[in-house]
Structure 1
Amino acid sequence: MTDTTIESAKRAAAIQAVAEHFDPSATHVGIGSGTTIVYVVDAIKARSTNPHIRFVPTGYQSRQVIVQAGLTPIAFDSLPEDVTLDIAFDGADEVDEELNCIKGGGACLFQEKLVAERAKKFICVADYRKNQARLLTKWLTIPIEVAPISVPTVLYSLRTLGSPNPKVRTTLLAKSGPLKTDQDFFIIDAPFPTLLTSADVAAGKGKGDGSDGKWEVNKLSQAIKELTGVLEVGIFSGMNGVEAADLRAREGARSAVVGGQKPVAVYFGMQDGSVQVRTSK
């Protein structure tokens, strides 16, 4: 498919996602990173009549997109602690049937997860290439943000978990060394076999704990996150924002859950100009 087809698909998905989920009366909106998000911001600008909305970027690139659109950005760490984002829009590198996502191709996964978990709901916008039945089908590695000093230990641990050849991501100019995130951390890209969904494990298609060479999405994310030196894992799984809010309402002070990582809906722009919507229900 041509670049024009891909860009048209991204634009169509963004326009429909914003039309169906953006509320002009919102006060705070999360804006993710990547090429698709440019179309999201354009669509918001076309529909927004409220100059008081504050837009929370997930990194330098998304902040520039917000500013260039004439909208008002606010840093994540400037948000009052009692403020929840009305909604967050972001892309993904791959999405499976259960709406689990891989993110981090643009090295903004830590801030993307902060924003997703702070939102009442996260809407994912992507093109048809990102629509897969299982994670690690076309996008073959999991981005992991790590402290530079911990890289050798984390690489060894990832190989122990079953990643055949995890590597530190370098800049486009290799002689400049490892790519640095907005936190001055490094990114490790770790390949694993295609991940199981929770439904796969329930159907007996694998244990999901890595003991048979097969990992379930949530279990692998947890195993990697527990490695000392790992700041964040580019797997967005578990609950979505609506489910997290329900849990907090039920458990109150007993729950430390802030929000959900998964989108409540994913909008895929297709080759033929249509938009395919996958929801959590």
Structure 2
Amino acid sequence: MLTQDELKRNVAMAAAEYALTCLQPESVLGVGTGSTVDFFIDAIAEHRHRFRAAVSSSERSTRRMRDLGIEVLDLNEVEEMPIYVDGADEIDHQLNMIKGGGGALTREKIVASVARRYICIVDESKVVERLGAFPLPVEVIPMARNVVSRRLRALGGQPVLREGFITDNGGEILDVAGLDIPAPAVLESHINDIPGVVGCGLFAISGADLALVSSQSGVRRMQRPGAGGADTIQS
């Protein structure tokens, strides 16, 4: 039986191989954050001469890439990227996601918006039939913490402040349990419209384009419905 770290390493290696098919010497690579992405950074660093630079969604990933010799640009210097590679805390079969367990959800969403394709890398434990078992992270401006919490409770959620945590943007995180999410894009839009919300961890208005899922039997691809048919095994 493969350990979770071995599953993460396998999908990270598959993602690096896929990324290299999309990158040119002048390309800028979008990179997310998290433990699975750490393995991806390690894998892609061996091929840093194959692309120009990267843009990162977190200070953590920026430090790791620079330590491995990858140039990291500010997003303001970049007009587009061929792909953005990141993990997820949950992903459904329509490639809607919950993200933000590491607290970088807002920057992840911003960087992903510049990429032509979003590649999600996960182990099989993150694939769900319906989002919501993982508490939904919501980044808020600190002065709005209580008013946003009241609005989230009105939606049926149970928000809890992530104690002692401040995002790279200076915001706070409310982790919201108990939400029923039959229509992820609708709920994402609703939460985004609450005054004081910087961003929420639902990635459904713009979900992933492709998911690479690591399992005991290998790494498989999940395509958005209508964008390629059944899952295939990644060699």
Letter in 1 for 2:37: I
> 1:263, CA displacement in angstroms?
1.3
CA contact (8 A) 2:48 2:69 kept: no
2:214 aligned partner: 269
Counterpart check, 1:64 vs 2:57: no
CA contact (8 A) 1:134 1:194 kept: no
> 1:159, CA displacement in angstroms?
0.8
Unpaired segments ≥5 residues, structure 1: 172-178, 197-215, 239-260
SS where residue 120 of structure 1 aligns? Answer: strand
Counterpart check, 1:195 vs 2:188: no
Letter in 1 for 2:31: I
Aligned residues with identical type, % of pairs:
29
Task: Write the distance in 1 (CA, Å) between the matches of 2:95 and 2:191.
Answer: 20
2:233 aligned partner: none
- The TM-score with structure 2 as length reference comes to 0.90
CA contact (8 A) 2:136 2:201 kept: yes
Task: Write the distance in 2 (CA, Å) between the matches of 1:225 and 1:192.
Answer: 18
After superposition, give the CA deviation of every residue in 1:170-222 in whole Å (9 maximum; x if it has no partner). Answer: 13xxxxxxx110111100111134422xxxxxxxxxxxxxxxxxxx1111111
- The TM-score with structure 1 as length reference comes to 0.75
After superposition, give the CA deviation of every residue in 1:135-186 in whole Å (9 maximum; x if it has no partner). Answer: 113x2x11000000011100111111111x2111113xxxxxxx11011110
Task: Write the distance in 1 (CA, Å) between the matches of 2:178 and 2:192.
Answer: 15
Structure with greater strand percent: 2
Task: Write the distance in 1 (CA, Å) between the matches of 2:4 and 2:10.
Answer: 10
**Aligned residue pairs: how many?**
223
Q: Equivalent residues in 2 for 1:113-192 (5 A)?
A: 113-137=109-133, 139=134, 141-163=135-157, 165-171=158-164, 179-192=165-178
Letter in 1 for 2:160: K
CA RMSD of aligned residues (A): 1.6
Unpaired segments ≥5 residues, structure 2: 228-235
Task: Write the distance in 2 (CA, Å) between the matches of 1:152 and 1:49.
Answer: 48
Counterpart check, 1:226 vs 2:170: no
1:6 aligned partner: 4
Counterpart check, 1:34 vs 2:34: yes
Give 1 or 2 for the bigger CA radius of gyration: 1
